[in-house]
Amino acid sequence: MPSELTGKHVLLVDDNAINRRILDLQTEAWGLHGHSVETGDEALALVERGDPFDLAILDMHMPGMDGLELAHRLRALRADLPLVLYTSLGGAGQVDPVFASVLAKPVKQSQLFDVLVSLLSDGAVERAPAAEGSATMLGERHPLRILLAEDNNVNQQLAILLLESMGYRADVAANGVEAVEAVNRLPYDLVLMDVQMPEMDGLEATRRIRADGPSPQPRIVAMTANAMQGDREACLAAGMDDYLAKPIRTEELAAALAATPNRAADRPTVTVLDPKALARLQAIAPKPEALARLVAAFLDNGAVLITQMAEAAGAGDADALRRDAHTLKSNAASFGATELGELCTALEARARAGELGGAAEAVSRIAREFDGARAALAKQG
């Protein structure tokens, strides 16, 4: 077990006594201290008196005060406390960005473990060496650029956690239209394509990618909960390469990942920051301290804008989302963060049209690209 989990304090809030006991037992087995309560009022009282919680897991549907209201009240008391939504599969809808992750009921030990590790270890977990060929080593041995096309937000979160447990990260498309656009914009190695999606289903999206998509083409693997006779044949006829039945099994997903060629050699080199833009900034601010102030302003302002975008996406505030995306797009252009600017441009256009489906995932991708720009600027000194 990662030593980073030992001794950490987890607040568990659920009106169902069985669920509380299950979570208590699972966290205790990993050396954590679980503190379970039945109501939001009890949870608030513990936090207000200063109990040193490192993470809170909140049931969504509770009498009196639901998980969303409790999450925002906890956030006001403890801005640094990671919050995890605990809900029935498919019952979360568009997850509010106040939550750092999602756990589906009934919770599986592997999913709970992955969430705890990712939120409590700051990415510095030291695990025992994995056996050669195990799924946990796959992302390191066989890196891939992955697109996940899935409209259900909870299913998205579960798939992302499963991929992360193997060492992968994925971009997310909320429907077939977004999947086609994403594949035409970036060179993916693998598309995990849900079959049933709004606006354009996975079969039609695959047909369009095969007909008019980029070269080389990505490997496309279907994901469907139907598993009916003939489904596999329909997926293959549409141009898909493989087929996974939901719920996705780790070993089957690992096999699909391992069978996907890494086309990194065929991809053009992507530079996070345009050297010409940096040269222009250095000309504007030739003194190191002046340039440092510019960089600090860009990073500080960008962090604020991304937080505001996440809040706007959660609230469905298209106008605020458009304004913040436009501002960050302009700032990114000044620093030569081309990919960041393009992501902001796409989100700005969607917000202007009032199309907020998948906006939270778009903001998450912007945040990841912003982190890349931050790291690149740090290397510039």
Task: Extract the tokens encoding 377.
Answer: 């600027």
pLDDT band at 91 (very low <50, low <70, confident <90, very high): very low
Q: List the domain range (segments joined by +) for residue 35.
A: 3-120
- Does the pLDDT at position 134 exceed 50? no
- Give me the helices (H) in 240-356, please: 250-258, 275-284, 288-315, 318-334, 338-352
Q: Which of 219, 248, 266 is the last residue of a domain?
A: 266
Between the alpha carbon of residue 129 and those of residues 132, 137, 149, 353, the distances in Å are: 9, 9, 32, 49
Give the CATH number, domain containing residue 312: 1.20.120.160
Same domain, 142 and 115: no
The alpha carbon of 203 is separated from its chain's Cα centroid by a whole number of angstroms, namely 24
Give the CATH number, domain containing residue 168: 3.40.50.2300
Between the alpha carbon of residue 123 and those of residues 107, 113, 126, 134, 167, the distances in Å are: 22, 14, 9, 20, 12
Same domain, 327 and 251: no
Residue 249 lies inside a defined structural domain of this protein:
yes
Same domain, 173 and 92: no
Same domain, 12 and 86: yes
Residue 125 lies inside a defined structural domain of this protein:
no
Same domain, 102 and 170: no
Is the bond preceding residue 268 a cis peptide, omega within 30 degrees?
A: no
Q: Which residue has the higher pLDDT, 171 or 48?
A: 48
Residue 130 lies inside a defined structural domain of this protein:
no
pLDDT band at 130 (very low <50, low <70, confident <90, very high): very low
| Confidence at residue 270, expressed as pLDDT on a 0 to 100 scale | 46
Contact in structure between 37 and 43 (CB atoms under 8 Å) = yes
Residue 372 lies inside a defined structural domain of this protein:
yes
Same domain, 155 and 243: yes
Read off φ and ψ for residue 179, nearest 5 degrees.
-65, -45
Residue 252 lies inside a defined structural domain of this protein:
yes
- Does the pLDDT at position 210 exceed 90? yes
Q: What is the pLDDT of residues 26-50, one digit of tens each?
A: 787 778 888 999 999 999 999 999 9
The CB-side HSE value for 205 (13 A sphere, CA atoms) comes to 32
Identify the weakest region by mean pLDDT among 143-147, 172-176, 271-275.
271-275
Same domain, 281 and 250: no
Contact in structure between 223 and 244 (CB atoms under 8 Å) = yes
Q: Which residue has the higher pLDDT, 108 or 70?
A: 70
Contact in structure between 171 and 182 (CB atoms under 8 Å) = yes
Q: What is the pLDDT of residues 226-239, one digit of tens each?
A: 655 567 788 889 99
Count structural domains, the chain. 3
Same domain, 158 and 110: no
Q: Which of 266, 295, 320 is the last residue of a domain?
A: 266
Same domain, 261 and 374: no
Same domain, 151 and 199: yes
Same domain, 253 and 284: no
Residue 129 lies inside a defined structural domain of this protein:
no
Compute, in degrees rounded to 10, the torsion defined by CA atoms 128, 129, 130, 132.
-170
Q: Which of 66, 86, 120 is the last residue of a domain?
A: 120
Q: Is the dihedral of CA 166, 170, 175, 176 positive or negative?
A: negative
Q: What is the pLDDT of residues 291-334, one digit of tens each?
A: 787 788 888 888 999 999 999 999 999 999 998 998 898 888 87
Q: Which residue has the higher pLDDT, 9 or 355?
A: 9
Same domain, 250 and 289: no
| Confidence at residue 204, expressed as pLDDT on a 0 to 100 scale | 96
